[in-house]
Chain A
Amino acid sequence: MHKIWIIIQREYLSRVIKKSFLVTTFLIPIAMVGITSTMMYMATRSEQRENIAVMDESGVFVDKLDTTSDAYTIKYIATSTESNDSILVKNDCDLLLHIYPFKHGTPDRFYLYKEGGVSLNTKQFISTQLDEIYRIKLMQEAGIDKSKIDSIDQSNIELTCYDIKNNQETHTEISTLVGYATGFLIYLVILIYGMGVMRGVSEEKTNRIAEVIISSVRPFQLMMGKIIGIALVGLTQFTLWLVLTGLLHVFLPLFIPGLGLHSSLPIDQSTLTQTTNPNSEMVSFLQTLFAQDWMLIGACFLFYFLGGYFIYAAMFAAIGSLVNEDPQEAQQMTFPVTMPIIVAFFIMMSATRDPNSGLAIFGSMFPLTSPIVMMARIPYGIPSWQIVLSMLLLILGFVILTWLSAKIYRTGILMYGKKPSWKEVFRWLRQG
């Protein structure tokens, strides 16, 4: 036990004091905050005003388009036979909306001209309004008066989702968000640190230091020492990322005011803007955000974070023990291990949308996919027996896979020269 501890220490310290560790640990949160705040800033500030010339031959839409928008200026112009270019230049406009006369009372053609492409936002801005204006026109023609139409428009049915088990309101958006984010993080952790284990092992093999060390400790001790050491590196880095990102979010706005960082949660904008009272919606959103079972999510995240890492780390170690200097060889050999990780990622994506589908349930039980998939299901609230079973299966899977990997590892680490074939590797598994 003492020797494993010495190995863990070396593996941990040799990585943590590296420049690259410090750089990634400090730069990533800064980059993340930088990117989100820049995006926020761009979204709120720098939208360029566009002038739209409207040439309405139908007369239906005149003076009805929204002129309150900050982003667009609407200018109605007389019908002209000049070329589109010259109309734009003459009216000092960026876009020309040309509405053709109605045919037999129904809309005919609508054209939006611009030099270069029309942005999606602009297209939506115009087309939703055209739709709306025409709809109102139709309703008025059907004999519904203006005030009634307004009151119809005011109506807004809000669907509140309720969890009768925990007796609280649920927010599907938040569950999806939390599930996706945690699942994605575990996916990253497995790939980044798993690859780290593989590189470490293959470095020891190609440096031939493995043989020296194995005359002092058992191969299993060396392997586990490395795996645990790198796990601690991962936890350290992760904690630092959390703390730094948190600190930056709190302190950066103090120095650079106006960086709407507090609203940087990637909430679907439409859920906020479509409601009549965005404030109360925001409040209930935050309420549910805090009402989430963070203790459960946090504990499960930690468990699946470590479980996911450990179940793959031993396999990555086994792969590392098989490869020689050739990096291309390593890529080929990692394929069988990276494959289930990628599959798990796709199951996770579908599980965020349908957490109780057969695929999602299977994915959250099968040890190779459960660390990534289960996190996507937990925020929706799932029966505790499923969590317990999934955890037990993960532990069992970890024990079996580590045991098998150790067999490959202890032979592979001493094999120099040619790359062993899979057939040979399976023979090592059968032996001893």
Chain B
Amino acid sequence: MLDIVSLKKYYATQRAVDDISFRVPKGAIFGLLGPNGAGKSSLLRMITGITMPDSGSILLDGEAFQLDKHSRDIGYMPEERGLYKRMKVEDQAMYLAQLKGLTRQEAATKLNAWFKKLEMDSWRNKKVEDLSKGMSQKLQFVITVLHEPKLLILDEPFSGLDPVNSAIIKEEIHALSARGTTIIFSTHRMEQVEEICKEIVLMNQGRLILEGDVMEVKKRFRQNKYHLEIDGELPEHPHLHCLRAGVYEAQFASQDEADEIIRYCLQNKIRISNYHEVLPSLHDIFIQWVEGKGGAVRSFENPIH
């Protein structure tokens, strides 16, 4: 669907995007991760045709991206949300849809459907400045998807949304993906990505540091950490850490050592009610990676766990 080939964008003071390549398969919900200032927004602005790369290419279905030709294929919700404050909700949506190339008729039909679905019908004649923050976020989302883009780019789509609206938007994202829309989801909140995305790339300081399937990435960084809940007690063990009665966390040196505990439980007829591998969070992986490389993060906002 989307191929990014050694894309570069240098500004006077920094390398915003420094030789990045990856591929986003059709229909994927693809996570673009990285702390603030990693270069995500710069990258997205190039993919949406807002800025031109210094070098490299962007291919959409194998074709070089051109704004005039492909603007209808792309829906972009920037991190900095923007709407005309004094324009009415309906006029605004109609205007932006027409700029995407929809006719008035098409735009009106689609708008009606979305407004109905997200229960926004009563807002039509309100001015944007009279909407609450959550409401205008919802409107922004509708505007972004109204023209049914093939590629949907959402930059921090959940920032400023309450849990109810977050859930609605999340549901819509999944529904769009199921219908074949490719979605790039950019955020610095790594825990959100684990819930929603299947594949990710992780950026830092303009460079791509990790990419792949979320589970695979996590497994790649597995630390043989396990969570164990049993009815009973285990003998003291250097790698076993008792959280409370019957609940343990174990950090083993190898898989064999983990198996040994299970065997011990089975032999001693200790009932296991819960046993699973604790995979590192993407956040942990990121930190580990940065520490491992001795690198620095431009500015890092600690996500809330």
Contact = CB atoms under 8 A, between A and B. Distances in A.
A218 B67 contact: yes
Contact of B82 (A10, A208, A432): A208
A211 B99 contact: no
A400 interface: no
Nearest to A7: B99
Nearest to A411: B51
A175 B151 CA distance: 63
Interface string A11-50: 0001000000000000000000000000000000000000
Contact of A215 (B48, B68, B86, B101): B48
B87 interface: yes
Interface string A208-226: 1111111111100000000
A203 B77 CA distance: 19
Interface in B246-266: none
A3 interface: yes
A243 to B, nearest CB: 28
B82 A207 contact: yes
B16 to A, nearest CB: 12
Interface residues of A, number: 24
Interface string B74-94: 101110111111110000000
Contacts of B48: 215
A416 interface: yes
Nearest to A424: B12
A3 B82 contact: no
A414 interface: yes
A207 B83 contact: yes
Contacts of A209: 82-84
B71 A215 contact: yes
Contacts of A3: 99, 101
B76 A215 contact: yes
A410 to B, nearest CB: 9
Contacts of B78: 208, 211-212, 215
Contact of A216 (B12, B45, B51, B100): B100
A118 interface: no
Interface string A310-336: 000000000000000000000000000
A427 B50 CA distance: 19
B98 interface: yes
Contact of A212 (B12, B51, B68, B76): B76
Interface in B141-155: 143
B106 to A, nearest CB: 14
A207 B84 contact: yes
Interface of A: 3, 6-7, 10, 14, 203-204, 207-218, 414, 416, 424, 427, 432
10 contacts: A6-B95, A10-B95, A208-B78, A208-B82, A209-B83, A212-B77, A214-B50, A215-B49, A424-B12, A427-B12
Given A6-B99, A10-B95, 12 more contacts: A14-B87, A207-B85, A211-B45, A211-B50, A211-B78, A211-B80, A212-B83, A213-B99, A215-B48, A215-B49, A216-B100, A217-B71
